[in-house]
Amino acid sequence: MPHTTGVRKRKVAVLGATGPVGQRFISLLAGHPWFELAALTTSERNVGKRYADAVHWLGGPDVPEAAADMRLESTRADLDVEICFSALPPDAATEWESSLAKTGHHVFSNDKTHRMDDDVPLIIAEVNPEHANALEFQRRNRGWKGSIVTNGNCTAITLALAVAPLHRAFGIERLMVTTMQSLSGAGYPGVPSLDALDNVVPYIGGEEEKVETETQKFLGTWDGARFAPATFEISASCNRVMVRDGHTESVSVSLRGRPSVAAVIDAMSAFRGRPQELRLPTAPERPVVVRAERDRPQPARDRDTGAGMSVVVGRIREDPVLGVKFTALGHNTIRGAAGASVLNAELLAAEGCLGA
Amino acid sequence: MPHTTGVRKRKVAVLGATGPVGQRFISLLAGHPWFELAALTTSERNVGKRYADAVHWLGGPDVPEAAADMRLESTRADLDVEICFSALPPDAATEWESSLAKTGHHVFSNDKTHRMDDDVPLIIAEVNPEHANALEFQRRNRGWKGSIVTNGNCTAITLALAVAPLHRAFGIERLMVTTMQSLSGAGYPGVPSLDALDNVVPYIGGEEEKVETETQKFLGTWDGARFAPATFEISASCNRVMVRDGHTESVSVSLRGRPSVAAVIDAMSAFRGRPQELRLPTAPERPVVVRAERDRPQPARDRDTGAGMSVVVGRIREDPVLGVKFTALGHNTIRGAAGASVLNAELLAAEGCLGA
Amino acid sequence: MPHTTGVRKRKVAVLGATGPVGQRFISLLAGHPWFELAALTTSERNVGKRYADAVHWLGGPDVPEAAADMRLESTRADLDVEICFSALPPDAATEWESSLAKTGHHVFSNDKTHRMDDDVPLIIAEVNPEHANALEFQRRNRGWKGSIVTNGNCTAITLALAVAPLHRAFGIERLMVTTMQSLSGAGYPGVPSLDALDNVVPYIGGEEEKVETETQKFLGTWDGARFAPATFEISASCNRVMVRDGHTESVSVSLRGRPSVAAVIDAMSAFRGRPQELRLPTAPERPVVVRAERDRPQPARDRDTGAGMSVVVGRIREDPVLGVKFTALGHNTIRGAAGASVLNAELLAAEGCLGA
Amino acid sequence: MPHTTGVRKRKVAVLGATGPVGQRFISLLAGHPWFELAALTTSERNVGKRYADAVHWLGGPDVPEAAADMRLESTRADLDVEICFSALPPDAATEWESSLAKTGHHVFSNDKTHRMDDDVPLIIAEVNPEHANALEFQRRNRGWKGSIVTNGNCTAITLALAVAPLHRAFGIERLMVTTMQSLSGAGYPGVPSLDALDNVVPYIGGEEEKVETETQKFLGTWDGARFAPATFEISASCNRVMVRDGHTESVSVSLRGRPSVAAVIDAMSAFRGRPQELRLPTAPERPVVVRAERDRPQPARDRDTGAGMSVVVGRIREDPVLGVKFTALGHNTIRGAAGASVLNAELLAAEGCLGA
């Protein structure tokens, strides 16, 4: 029963602790049964400040007590922690994540830098936990004592988790997705309000490529030396809308054997993964929640399902072109970012991949 | 030169004059060079009131002077006008539009009731003006002195106008569209603010069916006795977002001969129609405006292009699944509703289809 | 220790259970340690339906389990409950609240109908709990077995709670307030999104009068036969803004003796009431939370302070005209409505005013 | 008739042309009958670029043709123009505005740097045109060939214009204002959307002081050597709300002689100024428009009144504390900024203060 409190908590750092994803890490790790917040890192200008003084906290009136009085540090290779949860921006991620892995840290990263590396797993704990098998190769290949596990783009995670049951049950041939993404996905200060109000911005830099390639990697296989992506055709169109949290995705999919809508609903509803088996602390009861109402999911109402760790799917119906279509919703800073990392760390800890 | 001011203006009525589409009719017809506002109709409880007193005017500080002091009337078959612009709700449209056509009125309707009738043309003036040839058959068939012309669902108009150049130049095989539609499309009071704020509603009743069937009718042909729809496959997914005006549509399309992106851009940019040839008063210079910026069109910035009568297209790029994808934007209450009707009336007047 | 679980829970009804305030009652009462949801009432067209099927639930993905399967009933005088929490609209409140009180029910009402009655207390549990002394007079006067206690307009509650410490410590001479009120205060469907988006509506019907008169009653006294309102001058200007929950109030006040800003901060920070002494289940630790940041309180960040039961005050500073000014924020459907009623019921239960 | 097109147009520059206020200057000056856009200046990184390429244009689909192809320049003292419209940020304004005035330019500035200087007039063309008499003193005093005229903070302009008729007719004793200000007032990128959505921010740095001091200067007098501010008491509380353009202000005022509400309405409605007498090109027909509806003015509906140059006032009613209260609305980037500057330049040109 790996979810019970063990003898000791592992010390963890949050790298890049002041941005929206860093803040979600703080919220998820304050009071975590297995992990103990031991270091918060930040860019130079904030080093030395109390966390509560430096952060523009977005998650409610007050910073959690466990973090409020911690002093912000620089990111450095000799952080005295076992696990690093990285919300670093790309430049800092490139500079620090491999250094930290080299010196024995287990890095769980939200950054894109290493996601598509041949020996770095991109993991959704319920979808492709077996990709963690690449870590042994990674350590040997790179001469690292630690490791890097990435968790993918927020939009790709929501999509891959929603379609994983279908790929497993039937096999995906073609997939098209149009997204309506939230403002928090752009960080803080992020999208200027004059661009967001009464508007849709039909472009998010680099997003469509990430969704297309990462979804294929999530649903692909590890062959012992590299990742082989799933080979279905995929097209993504990404839009920004005036929503605080939660990415809504309009998905159409062509499946092998042309299963009925009922069969698709069954496959999604029945889906469970290793985190549910292991009863990991951050695992939602159901990773994919199917709703029957004709006008759901909606971000304002459904994004906190499963404490933000469930992807909510609705409007599953026939698609005259590809076969089946539906709407999926995922909380982008929880299931799509910090929560995904924490769940990955729990999974690897429970599976014994992080040492004793 | 049909656009010059002729000997006389035709008297027109706006049916259902107080809703958002009725209001757009008022704005477009106040000061129109060919048409003269002669009657405004409404539901019973407002009959007899000054228009400015009865309407919750949404289009700026004040009702246009041409309409402010007009008295609201009941809709009735003997209205003393030649042309009726109908923004009636379905029940009233069913009750009155054919009665008015029977008694010699030319009805230009925004309602869905007659759109898919076998002998009622569904016209976008630039796309399928030749469908007006059905009117002679319609009169004979129904024993009407007048006629009904419909102009389609706002989302379908935007879509059909954007893809018409491609269907004409190449032929559409398959088409997929996901929409992000504005609040004004739901009328007034329409969407409650508690449902709109910080939210996306992934459902609009009946909308997807309309978009799928009407687009095929717009791009189909009149065979002398009935309309034959275009036969490409089409799938629509419709969403409501927090935008005042302007429907944004993410479109993917498979075209015969797999034309290049450049060829698609050329076909769209070069597109002109009969309204442009005839220089109709409400015709935009370019019915489809192609923008090169990577983050356009956006409703807040582009919806008033061509005084709201142009559809704006951007992000034309390759689609890994269907071939080509892009974003289209149309002003739903102007190009997608009242403006489309007025342009249709101008077209038929200029072509001599409405009598001398 | 009245907050411990006693021998039995009191059975309670929510009257008008489907609107936003009714929904908050459900959320607060599901799992309440002293009260047990025993009846939910509604208007005729929903009678007999499952609560979860009839309600447009706004508080998250799902209706609380305790209420989801309950059947909606008509409001009627012989409801088998001790306490009725009323979120009835004015007409129904006028019809039913006194009937229910007559037949022995203790009615805690959010409606305005009886608020200004001479023998009906208008109570904020921390501000004027002694107004409950009027209940004995009320019963005798009206020949009721039960009672009615009202809790005031949401804007007035927030204001009165914020200034109560100042009235107590110094005495208010003059008070001016301009409000920026949330959409949920208008109910559902409430404010049309076309009126709310990119807008401020500087008018809320009847609100300014309520704020002015109710604040004076809250801060007034019970003389044994009637309520004598506080006699300071008060002026309210009420606006609707695009916020889901939380009324923000810009307050200026003239106090006897011209206390310093520091003295005002001290008085507010130190304020506690009877609910805090009694540790009532719904009582926040601090009824008034003073924040030092220069840009707080903000509804998006602070409205859930104290589980929505604290009023948050910030920007306490000198006012060149009246002496002191500040910004106050209260959660309008919790502290300003359902939560206020529940706290009043807890108070009266704990004080022994509701029978054994 | 100074508003007719004269022999020649004066060449003008817009300083700081890419921000929201700079953009409004471009819109107002493209096609202006008296002024010709001859130079656009910007910060270093954009120098040399086409204006249309460098600007994030917010005012519609396209930059006006008159400016689109102009090359951006550095601000410098020898600009070959007569008039400089300054939308410079404070640092650049401090550096350049007096240099430009020294070398003979007439600078009309939106910046705060010189607003409260003893010899720099702060002018609303309808309110205090006689303050331009200070310019002769200014030139002598500073040894300048040109001049600086400032036009005040956007919130202060709206307030001062709304109350000027009351100060003139009755005399103001005390004034209190709470504002709900738009996002465009914070520039671009300005307010992050995560702070704006579903929120009110009750703080705008420096704003309250500006409103208080500038309003007194506007309504004060020039004594030949310095400006004597009006001496009424004034208190401002400033808030940011989710509105694109238009500042809404809730105003209470104590007037000498306690005039009736009807007298206040009359004074405001009858108010006209020198720009109306002179029929200046940018002058609205009525500087203050009084509306009788109980729920107006609203920014979404009324901000474009008088092409954005009218202040709209509504809800004029008794205030139990100060005497009279009302709501005022002004378009912050037109009447509150660029339009105010342009109108001031027109006024001074028409009055012969800018040379032949």
Cβ-based contacts of B212 with chain A (< 8 Å): 320
Cβ-based contacts of D253 with chain C (< 8 Å): none
Taking every pair of C-alpha atoms in chain A, what is the biggest distance, in angstroms? Answer: 60
Helix (H, G, I), strand (E, B) or coil at A115: coil
A83-86 and A227-228: which strand pairing?
unpaired
Say whether C193 and B188 touch across the interface (CB within 8 A). no
Rounded to an integer, the average pLDDT of B215-232 is 96
For residue B194, give the nearest of C195, C198, C244 by CB distance: C244
Asked if the C-beta of C352 comes within 8 angstroms of chain A's C-beta atoms, the answer is no
Cβ-based contacts of C183 with chain A (< 8 Å): none
pLDDT at A7: 56
Asked if the C-beta of D198 comes within 8 angstroms of chain A's C-beta atoms, the answer is yes
Residue segments in chain A with a per-residue pLDDT below the cut of 50? 1-3, 5
Minimum distance, in Å, between the CA of residue A94 and any CA atom of chain D: 27
pLDDT at C355: 83
Name the active-site residue from D84, D106, D131, D154: D154
Token pair of B37, please?
């506002």
Residue segments in chain D with a per-residue pLDDT below the cut of 50? 1-3, 5
pLDDT at B249: 98
* Mean of all residue pLDDT scores within chain B: 96
pLDDT in tens, A195-254: 999 999 999 999 999 999 999 999 999 999 999 999 999 999 999 999 999 999 999 999
Name the active-site residue from C106, C131, C247, C331: C247
d(CA C228, CA C222): 6
Rounded to an integer, the average pLDDT of C77-90 is 96
Classify residue C175 by its DSSP letter: E
Asked if the C-beta of B195 comes within 8 angstroms of chain C's C-beta atoms, the answer is yes
Token pair of A312, please?
């909510």
Rounded to an integer, the average pLDDT of B197-220 is 98
C247 is an active site residue: yes
Cβ-based contacts of A180 with chain B (< 8 Å): 180, 200, 239, 241
Say whether B61 and D197 touch across the interface (CB within 8 A). no
Say whether C301 and D199 touch across the interface (CB within 8 A). yes
Name the active-site residue from A84, A154, A167, A238: A154
Cβ-based contacts of B321 with chain A (< 8 Å): 174-176, 233-235
Say whether C197 and D322 touch across the interface (CB within 8 A). no
Asked if the C-beta of D327 comes within 8 angstroms of chain C's C-beta atoms, the answer is yes
Q: In terms of Cα–Cα distance, which of D263, D243, D245, D244 is closest to D253?
A: D263
Minimum distance, in Å, between the CA of residue A191 and any CA atom of chain D: 6
pLDDT in tens, C24-75: 999 999 999 999 999 999 989 999 999 999 999 998 899 999 999 999 999 9
Say whether D190 and A192 touch across the interface (CB within 8 A). yes
**CB C89: neighbour CB atoms within 10 A?**
14
Q: Give residue for tokens 């097209």.
A: A235
For residue D304, give the nearest of B60, B289, B312 by CB distance: B60
Say whether C320 and D234 touch across the interface (CB within 8 A). yes
* Mean of all residue pLDDT scores within chain C: 96
Chains with ≥3 Cβ pairs under 8 A against A?
B, C, D
Cis ω before D121 (30° cut-off from 0): no
Rounded to an integer, the average pLDDT of B4-33 is 90
pLDDT at C2 over 70: no
For residue B61, give the nearest of D61, D197, D302 by CB distance: D302
C66 within 8 A of C39, measured Cβ to Cβ: no
Element (H, E) at C176: strand C172-181
Asked if the C-beta of A237 comes within 8 angstroms of chain B's C-beta atoms, the answer is yes
Say whether D192 and A188 touch across the interface (CB within 8 A). yes
d(CA A62, CA D86): 41
Cβ-based contacts of C302 with chain A (< 8 Å): 61
For residue C178, give the nearest of D199, D250, D297 by CB distance: D250
Q: Please give the angle made by the CA atoms of B149, B150 and B151, to the nearest 5 degrees.
A: 130
d(CA D113, CA A267): 66
pLDDT at C119 over 80: yes
Minimum distance, in Å, between the CA of residue A302 and any CA atom of chain C: 5
Say whether B192 and C188 touch across the interface (CB within 8 A). yes
Q: pTM value?
A: 0.96
C35-42 and C10-15: which strand pairing?
parallel
Token pair of A322, please?
């590809």
Q: What is the dihedral of CA C155, C159, C160, C165, to 10 degrees?
A: 160
DSSP labels, D129-152? GGGGGHHHHHHHHHT-SSEEEE--
Rounded to an integer, the average pLDDT of C206-216 is 98
Helix (H, G, I), strand (E, B) or coil at C155: helix
Asked if the C-beta of A198 comes within 8 angstroms of chain D's C-beta atoms, the answer is yes
A172-181 and A233-240: which strand pairing?
parallel
For an interface test with B, give the residue of D182, D301, D329 to mutate (most B CBs within 10 A). Answer: D301
Chains with ≥3 Cβ pairs under 8 A against D?
A, B, C
Say whether D191 and A188 touch across the interface (CB within 8 A). no
Asked if the C-beta of C46 comes within 8 angstroms of chain D's C-beta atoms, the answer is no
Say whether A248 and B294 touch across the interface (CB within 8 A). no
Asked if the C-beta of B58 comes within 8 angstroms of chain D's C-beta atoms, the answer is yes
Asked if the C-beta of D304 comes within 8 angstroms of chain B's C-beta atoms, the answer is yes
Say whether B193 and C190 touch across the interface (CB within 8 A). yes
Say whether A188 and D184 touch across the interface (CB within 8 A). no
pLDDT at C7 over 80: no
One-letter amino acid of B330: G
pLDDT at C356: 72
Say whether B61 and D312 touch across the interface (CB within 8 A). yes
d(CA B145, CA B218): 25
Chains with ≥3 Cβ pairs under 8 A against C?
A, B, D
pLDDT in tens, B137-183: 999 999 999 999 999 999 999 999 999 999 999 999 999 999 999 99
Say whether C296 and D202 touch across the interface (CB within 8 A). yes
For an interface test with A, give the residue of B183, B200, B245 to mutate (most A CBs within 10 A). Answer: B200
DSSP labels, B148-178? EEE---HHHHHHHHHHHHHHHHT-EEEEEEE
pLDDT over 70 for what percent of chain C? 98
Asked if the C-beta of A61 comes within 8 angstroms of chain C's C-beta atoms, the answer is yes
A84 is an active site residue: no
Asked if the C-beta of D323 comes within 8 angstroms of chain A's C-beta atoms, the answer is no
Name the active-site residue from C154, C167, C238, C331: C154
Say whether B183 and C189 touch across the interface (CB within 8 A). no
pLDDT in tens, C339-352: 999 999 999 999 99
For residue C190, give the nearest of B188, B194, B244 by CB distance: B194
pLDDT at D264: 98
Cβ-based contacts of A58 with chain C (< 8 Å): 301
Q: What is the ipTM of this complex?
A: 0.95
Token pair of C299, please?
């509804």
pLDDT at B351 over 50: yes
Rounded to an integer, the average pLDDT of B51-76 is 95
